[in-house]
Amino acid sequence: MLRVAVVLGGTSSERQVSLNSGKVVLENLPKDRYVAKPYDPMKDLDRFIRDIRHRRIDLVFNALHGKGGEDGAIQGMLEFLGVPYTGSGIMASSIAIDKYFTKHIYREAQIPTPPSLMLNDVNQLSKISKNVGKEIVIKPLAEGSSVGVVVKPQVKDWPIIIKSLLKAHGACLVERYIDGRELTVGVLGAEALPVIEIRTKQAFFDYTAKYEDASTEELCPAPIDDRIAKEAQDMALEAHKALGCRVYSRTDIILDSEQKIWVLETNTLPGLTNASLLPKAAAAIGLSMSDLLDRIIQLSYERH
């Protein structure tokens, strides 16, 4: 029986999603193989470290989305303490959480991604039209679950939106808007999972569409040509490898009207809630939630 610490909650903007992911993990880990306990760093950090030091934990299941859990911080602490943990390591986590650095890695690996630039000063607004275009997406540099993302704002609204993001986050990413179908591809181990197409009545697949809007459709496998599906899967695998991800990830993609694929970003710690996309893709190849969690733990434990 492996003693598993499920780390959940935390203090990031994705706290509620993390609590939900952690709850699902606790409920679905096979009881005949694992003894699981929850730890919320917001209130349980001392107990968590004490239990690690007293060898009461064999492996940490990281369900801590956002800053502190997805950016290399907890990975660094666990490496220092010498305890195995699920998912990607320090380097991949710290790079992929930063959308600007991620773009550089994509381009070095010849993975097609929309033109973009990073802004840390509102006086740089003149660069946007020249380098990116008039139709843009503005994103916080290091947030998940589409927190703070603004799609196709009017030019007159750029200054106030960017000032707000700079005040809250210190920097932001401005990316060319690509009109097309929203796809996402999970990777588990060394294999890409079936492609999912997302259809939403919201402006885009934002936090509301992901977790609150019952009308959002997530079609798996996506109703696209087999050749396009294979290309999307190959791109997700390439992104996973280029960033140095391990065990599992999920890459978001836009398929434009000319059937060209654009890779937007890679999530090194995909959600594991009942509304999340990675479990839906796993289910399409016959993996239950318990099977998926077991596979994540086995792959992670082997890596360590």
Structure tokens that stand for 218 in this block: 């997530």
Domain 179-303 of CATH type 3.40.50.150: no
CA angle 2, 8, 11 (to 5 degrees): 150
Q: Which tens digit of pLDDT belongs to each residue from 90-102? A: 999 999 999 999 9
Q: Is 271 among the catalytic positions?
A: yes
Active-site residue among 69, 146, 265, 276? 265
Q: Is 121 among the catalytic positions?
A: no
212: Cβ contacts below 8 Å, ≥ 6 apart: none
% of the chain exceeding 90 in pLDDT: 82
Active-site residue among 175, 182, 231, 252? 252
DSSP single-letter state for residue 123: G
Q: Is 129 among the catalytic positions?
A: no
Rounded mean pLDDT, 184-211 = 80
User: Which CATH entry fits the domain spanning 115-176: 2.60.120.260, 3.30.360.10, 4.10.520.10, 3.30.1490.20?
Assistant: 3.30.1490.20
Prediction pTM value? 0.91
> Would you place residue 209 in the very low, low, confident or very high pLDDT band (cuts 50, 70, 90)?
very low
Q: Is 93 among the catalytic positions?
A: no
Is 162 in a helix, a strand, or coil? helix
> Would you place residue 213 in the very low, low, confident or very high pLDDT band (cuts 50, 70, 90)?
low
189 torsion bin: left (phi>0), alpha (psi -120 to 50), beta (else): left
- The reply to whether omega before 115 is within 30° of 0 (cis) is no
Which pLDDT value is given to residue 77? 96
Which residues on neighbouring strands pair with residue 61, listed in sequence order? 6
Rounded mean pLDDT, 217-231 = 96
Active-site residue among 94, 248, 250, 300? 250
Q: Which tens digit of pLDDT belongs to each residue from 11-23? A: 998 999 999 999 9
Give all strands (DSSP E) within 189-298, no chain letters: 191-192, 196-199, 217-219, 248-256, 261-267
Q: Which tens digit of pLDDT belongs to each residue from 247-299? A: 999 999 999 999 999 999 999 999 999 889 999 999 999 999 999 999 999 99
Q: Is 148 among the catalytic positions?
A: no
Q: Report how far residue 98's alpha carbon sits from residue 259's, in angstroms, rounded to the nearest whole number.
A: 27
Active-site residue among 106, 246, 271, 276? 271
Is 147 in a helix, a strand, or coil? coil
- Of residues 273 and 147, which shows the higher confidence score? 273
Q: Report how far residue 15's alpha carbon sits from residue 104's, in angstroms, rounded to the nearest whole number.
A: 28
Structure tokens that stand for 245 in this block: 């991800």
Rounded mean pLDDT, 131-150 = 85
188 torsion bin: left (phi>0), alpha (psi -120 to 50), beta (else): beta
CA distances from 219 to 130, 195, 248 (A): 37, 8, 20
> Would you place residue 142 in the very low, low, confident or very high pLDDT band (cuts 50, 70, 90)?
confident
Q: Is 267 among the catalytic positions?
A: yes
Structure tokens that stand for 222 in this block: 């996506």
Q: Is 79 among the catalytic positions?
A: no
Q: Domain map of the chain by residue range?
A: 2-87, 115-176, 179-303
- CATH of segment(s) 2-87: 3.40.50.20
> Would you place residue 169 in the very low, low, confident or very high pLDDT band (cuts 50, 70, 90)?
confident
Rounded mean pLDDT, 62-70 = 93
Q: Is 291 among the catalytic positions?
A: no
pLDDT at 211 over 80: no
Half-sphere exposure of 261 (CA within 13 A, CB side): 24
- Of residues 238 and 214, which shows the higher confidence score? 238
> Would you place residue 214 in the very low, low, confident or very high pLDDT band (cuts 50, 70, 90)?
low
Rounded mean pLDDT, 159-170 = 90
Active-site residue among 3, 211, 213, 234? 211
DSSP single-letter state for residue 122: G
pLDDT at 203 over 90: no
Active-site residue among 20, 93, 145, 300? 145
CA distances from 61 to 30, 54, 142, 150, 276 (A): 14, 18, 22, 32, 17
Which pLDDT value is given to residue 206? 53
Instruction: Round the average pLDDT of the chain to a whole number and report it.
Output: 93
